[in-house]
Amino acid sequence: MTDTEASLRLEEFDAHAATINLQGQWKAEAHLIKAIGGPAPAGIPFRWKRDELAQAMDEATVALGPVDTARRHLTCINPGLKGPAAGTTHTMSAGLQLVKPGEVCWSHRHSMAAIRFVTQGNPDAYTAVDGEKLIMEDFDLLLTPRFSWHDHHNPSDQDVVWLDGLDVGLLRGLGAVFYEPYGESSQHIRERAGDGIGTRSHWLRPTWEQDRGGRLPIRYPWREVKQRLDLYDGVEGSPYDGLALRYANPVNGGPTLPTLDCWVQRLLPGFSGLPHRRSSSSISFVIQGSGQLVTDDEVIDFAQGDVFVVPNWTTHRLVNDSDAEPTILFTLTDIPMYTPFGLFYEEPEDIIGASLAPANPTPPLTPIYREGAFYDRDEK
Ligand code: 1HN
């Protein structure tokens, strides 16, 4: 049989297989070959400017009118991700939400976990989460763990705005989106001092409460975050990430939420970060200062109030070209979605403790089969 005959025969078979809902692995090989050296990033690096976000929110306010059950939230859609299900990255959706004076956004819950990073707060405004009142002051971080009831309240006379971040893309991919309205505007609030996070993170904890581990309503007040940052006065930190602190879960020390981790990052004046990439993606809000996100193809400027995204497996570096003002970023990452499965890779390796990145070209065999890795080197 000639090569042409053989390939015709295979083409014929492929067509036949398709009619009986089967496919040979050889058809998938083309996709695998594209993954040599890692995945093609999902989406592109992008920045949303503060003023554009604020103007769109004003327009949304007119178009939508007062909100009660729905949220006046505008998701930042990555221009490199297409379709009605597109988010900010392939795993996460983030965007600003505005609550006007006097509004209450009805209580509901869903299987998506959410973080709220307050960009324009007020001591009277709060989100109620599973019976707890979490006050929203400037730059506070609030958690709405998966399946916790939450309603937003703005009894003040000023607009309140925050950045929502949710693990929407992951849950869609898993086919795990669940939603439930509470049925009333506001949930019941428990007011006893012993019901708060202080009790759940204390070494003396209620016996009658299930261990909710990483799923607690928590407020990380900016006042305290700022104090911790100031303890590192003048410290540059990592040559890749600047001084980066994790918002740890105070109960178990793990990531902020089981699927999402939050960081505060400070880039000292003149910081010029080294290039790196991770299997994870991230979304940052600029709390203070300005800088650049530099990729292989472009330089993206960012300034206070902007939001920018770094897709998965995208080589990038961060720069603060000011000679006087530090840059402070709030960064949301999906790293915890990768770590449990040994899929968190970094290049270069081990900046923040990732597994060894699969190298390309690889050494002849994977590392555990390298000669030096055998306990008996004479055994060949
Ligand atoms: C949601 O429930 C909220 O509760 C905000 O404030 C943003 C984006 C997608 C899906 C659900 C909220 C959301 C969301």
Determine the longest span between alpha carbons in the chain, in angstroms.
83
The lowest-confidence range among 30-44, 202-216, 302-316 is 202-216
Closest Cα to residue 164, out of 181, 152, 180, 147? 152
Residue nearest to atom 1 of ligand 1 (CA): 71
Distance CA 142, CA 225 (A): 13
Residue nearest to atom 6 of ligand 1 (CA): 71
SS3 sequence of 17-77: HHHCCCCCHHHHHHHHHHCCCCCCCCCCCEEECHHHHHHHHHHHHHHHCCCCCCCCEEECC
Nearest ligand 1 atom to the CA of 152 is 6
Tens digit of pLDDT for each residue in 76-135? Answer: 999 999 888 899 999 999 999 999 999 999 999 999 999 999 999 999 999 999 999 999
Tens digit of pLDDT for each residue in 243-292? Answer: 999 999 988 889 999 999 999 999 999 999 999 999 999 999 999 999 99
Q: Measured in angstroms, how far is the CA atom of residue 277 from the centroid of ligand 1?
A: 29
Backbone φ and ψ for 27, nearest 5 degrees, come out as -70, -30
b/e map 342-359, b = 16+ CB within 10 Å: eebbbbeeebbebeebee
Q: Is 71 in the pocket of ligand 1 (CB under 6 A)?
A: yes
Report how far apart, in Å, the C-alpha atoms of 249 and of each of 152, 189, 197, 213, 256 are: 22, 23, 11, 9, 5
> What's residue 31's pLDDT?
87
Joined tokens for residue 181 = 């309205």
> What's residue 380's pLDDT?
46
180 has which bridge partners?
A: 109
In this structure, which long-range contacts are made by residues 76-80, counting pairs with CB atoms below 8 Å and at least 24 apart in sequence?
A: 76/46, 76/48, 76/283, 76/307, 76/309, 78/42, 78/43, 78/44, 78/46, 78/309, 78/311, 79/43, 79/44, 79/46, 80/42, 80/43, 80/44, 80/46, 80/311
Backbone φ and ψ for 119, nearest 5 degrees, come out as -105, -20
Q: Is 116 in the pocket of ligand 1 (CB under 6 A)?
A: no
Q: Is 113 in the pocket of ligand 1 (CB under 6 A)?
A: no
Q: Measured in angstroms, how far is the CA atom of residue 75 from the centroid of ligand 1?
A: 9
> What's residue 354's pLDDT?
63
Q: Is 103 in the pocket of ligand 1 (CB under 6 A)?
A: no
- pLDDT of 296 above 70: yes
